[in-house]
Amino acid sequence: MFNIIIFGKPGSGKGTQADFLKDKYDLYHISTGDLFRKNITNETKLGLEAKSYLDNGDLVPDSVTIKMLENEVLSNKQVNGYIFDGFPRTLNQAKSLDFFLASIDLKINATIALEVSEDELISRLLDRGKITNRSDDQDIDKIKNRFNEYNNKTSILINFYRSQDKFFSVDGKGSVNDITSRLFDLVDSLI
């Protein structure tokens, strides 16, 4: 089983590229954004709690995110591997994920970061906000707050996964096809 984490700042293309990786390598895609939306739409206790944070442009607390993710993995065990999109975002989440996966005899094989400048990301997110009506993609202050959260918390994961020889960086600029090609080349070299 081959398990991948894909991460990058909001708007870097994680979801789009995760879908391509999922299809090519027959992985089960777990997007924390999708998990949040599913739980919010179904008005679960975890969903309502997550919504209150997202509406303010804040990250959802680890305890909520981890519980949603564990439920999703345990509900979809008959797969060739997982691609985690948007999780982990903090060192605590990374350690929790490693612990959880080890408890079911799995591990992360590769962590891939999509690198894109913040100016380009702001433009992408504002465009996405016009299409999706997501409140967190329509306000520059909320977008910058999400970048600050990423810079302060998620960037620490680079050293965590680098120390395990599981961290890889991919240029997230250019056409969707160019980025996908770079990702496929990387994953092919790791399998």
Query: Does the pLDDT at position 24 exceed 90?
Result: yes
Residue range 58-113, pLDDT digits in tens = 877 888 889 999 989 998 988 999 999 878 878 888 999 999 999 999 999 999 99
Region 4-178: CATH code: 3.40.50.300
Q: What confidence category does residue 56 fall into, taking pLDDT thresholds of 50, 70 and 90?
A: confident
Across the range 21-27, mean pLDDT stands at: 94
pLDDT at 53: 87
pLDDT at 146: 86
Cα separation, 132 vs 123, in Å, equals 14
Token pair recorded at residue 11: 């708007």
Q: Which helix (H) or strand (E) holds 110?
A: strand 110-115
Domain regions of the chain by residue span: 4-178
3-state secondary structure of 82: strand
DSSP 83: E
pLDDT at 20: 95
Cα separation, 164 vs 28, in Å, equals 23
**Residue 11, φ and ψ in degrees, nearest 5:** 90, 0
**Mean of the per-residue pLDDT values for the chain?**
90
pLDDT at 128: 85
Query: Does the pLDDT at position 155 exceed 80?
Result: no
pTM of the model: 0.82
pLDDT at 179: 95
pLDDT at 138: 80
